Copies of this chain bind each other. A is one copy, B any other.
Amino acid sequence: MKKFTDIFSRGLIVSCQAREGEPLFSSDIMARMADSARIGGAIGIRANAPSDIKAIKKRVPLPLIGIYKIISKESEVYITPTFESARVIAEAGADVIALDATGRPRPNGETLRELIERIHKELDIPVMGDCSTLEEGIAAVRFGADAIATTLSGNTPYSPQKKEPDWKLLSELIEKVDAPVVAEGRFNAPELAAKAIQMGAYAVVVGTAITRPHEVTSWFSQALLIYK
């Protein structure tokens, strides 16, 4: 199996995602977004679901972190919650599988440890654990995760709910976890991304600020409302 650090060099990973019902929801457009990211200097892509991943890998020669968001009534875990969801995005071309690495119960009673083991053994692909706390990061690496990301801070009810990135979690993971740490979640300005790398993050994932124009528009339009 390749190492995470052989697949991704240090730098900027651009997340290219649109939700159903949004104007940019289209695998072709996500592939064009990923190509725009490549032109702008991204060293990797993060993308959701088999159709987007296939379209992006066909168009853009960059390594890709694949996820598969599956919402279910059964479980709060929705980022690549099951082995089957990991298998189909591996087949679609993902170079790394990212998944929810919280300790919350998963669909089918699968466990994080089993999931990471099966992805390594059966799919031969490195795993990135999306965490919301230091403890989750430590556990995920003990279970074999090849990289750790701060993605889920603010996304679990028990992690801090902030507007800024979770700097505390990022620095603790960098200090205490023996795996590459990826900064992800609200790194919405170049200076925030640069600070993360300066602190020792291996890479930074930026999504909204680059590929979600309706969100960026709302940052501007809300700033103007103050003066109306």
Decide if the interface of chain A is mainly helix, strand, loop or mixed: helix
A94 to chain B, nearest CB (A): 21
Mark A residues whose CB is within 8 Å of B.
10-12, 14, 22-24, 26, 29, 32-33, 35-37, 39-43, 190-191, 193-194, 197-198, 204, 206, 209-224, 226-228
The answer to whether A223 touches B191 (Cβ under 8 A) is yes
Asked if residues B42 and A32 are in contact (CB atoms below 8 Å), the reply is no
Identify which of B37, B197, B222, B226 contacts A217 (C-beta below 8 A). B37
> In the assembly, how many copies of this chain are there?
2
Let me know if B210 and A194 touch, CB within 8 A: no
Q: Is the CB of B42 within 8 A of A23?
A: no
8 contacts between A and B (CB under 8 A): A22-B36, A23-B39, A24-B32, A29-B32, A39-B214, A40-B218, A41-B218, A194-B226
Interchain CB contact under 8 A, B190 and A12: no
* Shortest Cβ distance from residue A59 to the other chain B in the assembled complex, whole angstroms: 8
Known: A29-B29, A41-B218, A216-B210. A224 touches B36 (CB 8 A): no
Taken together as a complex, chains A and B put the C-alpha atoms of A95 and B210 apart, in Å, by: 29
**CA–CA, A26 and B36, complex, Å:** 14
List the B side residues contacting A36 at CB < 8 Å.
Answer: 22-24, 212-214, 217
Give the residues in chain B near A32, CB-CB below 8 Å: 23-24, 26, 29
A214 to B217, CA, bound (A): 17
Extra inter-chain contacts (18) besides given A23-B32, A33-B213, A41-B218, CB under 8 Å: A10-B228, A12-B220, A14-B213, A24-B32, A40-B213, A40-B214, A40-B218, A41-B217, A41-B220, A190-B219, A190-B223, A190-B224, A191-B223, A193-B224, A194-B226, A194-B227, A210-B216, A210-B217
Do residues B11 and A197 form an inter-chain contact, with CB atoms below 8 A? no
Interfacial chain B residues near A194, Cβ < 8 Å: 223-224, 226-227
Q: How far is the CA of A43 from the CA of B217 in the complex (A)?
A: 11
A29: chain B residues at CB < 8 Å are 24, 29, 32
In the complex, what's the smallest C-beta–C-beta distance from A152 to chain B, in angstroms? 22
